[in-house]
Chains A and B, each alone.
Chain A
Amino acid sequence: MRALQDVDVDVFQGEVLAIVGDNGAGKSTLTKILSGVFPPDRGDLYIGQQKIRLANARQAHELGVSTVFQTLALINCRNVACNIFLGREPTHWRFFVDRWKMLADAQAALADLGVHIPTLLGEVGELSGGQRQCIAIARATSQQGKVIIMDEPTAALGVKESGKVLDLILRLKSAGRGIVIISHNMHHVFSVADRIMVLRRGNLAGLRRKKDTTPDEIVAMIVGAS
């Protein structure tokens, strides 16, 4: 049994692609392949015309593919700047962290997204779910990536905070980034997506432009009723 089989994905800049499907459809597996967490058994990855091979997530970042995991992968006891630049801290002489630059760049990254955080010096674990999500997104955008993958970006958020995250997604799209979101929430998918890809049991069940489909049709594809 394969988690994923014969799935082709195209992601374009300035567009939001939503990947939907029931539990076990292969969404997480696809996300992890695209973000470099593990390699596919078969198939190729391209950025533009360039064929790439992702050995790990760090290489994916370097090639312009950033991921916001469902768990957010934030270090709760560290401050906002430390989290945004974890693994790529700006340094003097490649050894001493340039704290002021890191703080200033973190401030700029959040300002670019129009995100308000009361203090950059507090622990990230003390912030709300929406604020933490925004910090995770700021980390992805500050890497100047071409593609940002977001796994269930609104799953743990309330109505107001979900709205802010969806606005953020549209802002990133307007800025020319390619966005891939994985979501169970059909309302959120239809509010931001340009194209919707449906996975069922590891296979591609359908690919539709949002303006050419309806939530009912998508749900039918998910459950196999279409």
Chain B
Amino acid sequence: MKILSTDKFRHVLLNRTVVIALAAIVLFVLFALTVDRFLTTENLLNMLREVSLLGIMAVGMTFVFVAGEIDISIGSIYGFLTVIMGILVGRHAWNPWFGMLAVVALGAMIGGGTGLIVTRIGIPSFIVSLAGLVAYRSAALLVSGEQPSVTDGLGSFYVVSGGYLGGRLPWLIVWMATAVLLGGLVLSRTRFGYHVFATGGDGEAALSWGVNVRAVKLLCFVIMGALCGLCGALLFGWLHVAAPITGTGFEFRVIAAVILGGAALQGGRGSIYGSLIGSIILGMLSSGLVLLGLSQQWEDVATGGIILFTAMLDWFVRKAGARFASEPRSAE
């Protein structure tokens, strides 16, 4: 028996990330051909900048999904941490770099708290994060006094968060690219990443082979929380304001991006690069529909339709994969 070269080729074609990338290209071409001003450098960079924070959060959510869990509180945590950043920097004159470190650390602790309740007490992550969705949203309003915090936006932090690299490339895109590359490397190439897949694929089986399933899940929630903090800091650096309603409903866009990218609700499947492509698809939809003059509601309808289409496409791809795997090989 040998590993045939055609095996790898066919597996590339049946790979979920490849399929979603092709779908993104089709959508891009469609918009480029039919929507005026879509295919301009300015529009494309703006589009990518708009989805940068979505893309960063999707990295964290991919880890959580692949580990077999879910966190629907991330929009509220993101809003809460944005408010904290605003209070520390805007109202108490903290150095914004220290403010960023503080909210990233706080986000990691919040994620760790969720992870501990899920792994030690055994309450399903949906329930825990549902409680978090409500609690952190209210906490953001309470702590801020329902008032936004503002900053003058002067200093290196604001350049490196909301400014432009080389005067042209939004720094937010650089942050997103860095998060995606690091996240992708960790999830797909490290032993920890392999154990995240095993934990989500079959936690009991993984446990029987020595994988510390609890620690794996806990770390995934910590990553998610830390990235919420990072996004809160970057948003403040970009907009120079921290509004208490930040992030409302954001969790559903993040989850949509991750599902579009191939992550399975039951765990064990997903890809950081797929989630990035999912984020870009949502960004293209938003940009294209805005340029067409359509309202936000049309974007939501289109997003729902794309998620359903993606799920059906996924079903066909898996069926094809199963048929391929059962075919006999003649080269042995």
Contact = CB atoms under 8 A, between A and B. Distances in A.
Task: Decide if the interface of chain B is mainly helix, strand, loop or mixed.
Answer: helix
Contacts of A97: 189-191, 193-194
Contacts of B4: 119
Contact of B210 (A57, A71, A75, A94): A57
Contacts of A111: 1
A75 to B, nearest CB: 4
A194 B109 CA distance: 58
A63 interface: no
A163 interface: no
B329 interface: yes
Interface stretch (B86-94, B129-137, B197-205): B197-205
A104 B256 CA distance: 37
A121 B204 CA distance: 23
Given A77-B269, A96-B189, A107-B2, A71 B7 contact: no
A128 B328 CA distance: 12
A58 B197 contact: no
Contacts of B2: 107
Contacts of A116: 1, 332
Interface in B1-16: 1-4, 7-8, 11
Given A57-B208, A58-B209, A118-B327, A89 B202 contact: no
Task: Decide if the interface of chain A is mainly helix, strand, loop or mixed.
Answer: loop
For chain B, give the interface size range. 35 or more
Contacts of B324: 119, 122
Contacts of B327: 118
B159 interface: no
Contacts of B325: 118-119, 122-123, 126-127
Nearest to B198: A75
B332 A75 contact: no
Interface in B223-248: none
Given A56-B210, A123-B325, A117 B190 contact: no
B326 interface: yes
Contacts of B194: 82, 86, 89, 97
B11 A77 contact: no
Interface residues of A, number: 40
Contacts of B202: 73-76
A87 interface: yes
A111 B197 CA distance: 26
Interface string A193-221: 00000000000000000000000000000
B205 A71 contact: yes
B326 A118 contact: yes
A86 B321 contact: no
Given A111-B1, A122-B321, A58 B210 contact: yes
Contacts of B322: 126
B44 interface: no
Interface of B: 1-4, 7-8, 11, 189-191, 193-195, 197-198, 201-202, 204-206, 208-211, 264, 268-269, 321-322, 324-329, 332
30 contacts: A57-B208, A57-B209, A61-B210, A73-B202, A74-B202, A75-B202, A75-B268, A77-B269, A78-B197, A78-B268, A86-B194, A86-B205, A87-B206, A87-B209, A87-B211, A97-B191, A97-B193, A99-B189, A111-B1, A115-B1, A119-B7, A119-B11, A119-B329, A120-B7, A121-B3, A122-B324, A126-B321, A126-B325, A127-B325, A128-B326
Those 7 A-B pairs whose CB atoms lie nearest each other, nearest first: A58-B210, A122-B325, A75-B201, A87-B209, A73-B205, A126-B325, A87-B210
Given A75-B202, A91-B191, 10 more contacts: A73-B208, A75-B197, A75-B268, A86-B194, A86-B209, A88-B210, A89-B191, A95-B190, A123-B321, A128-B326
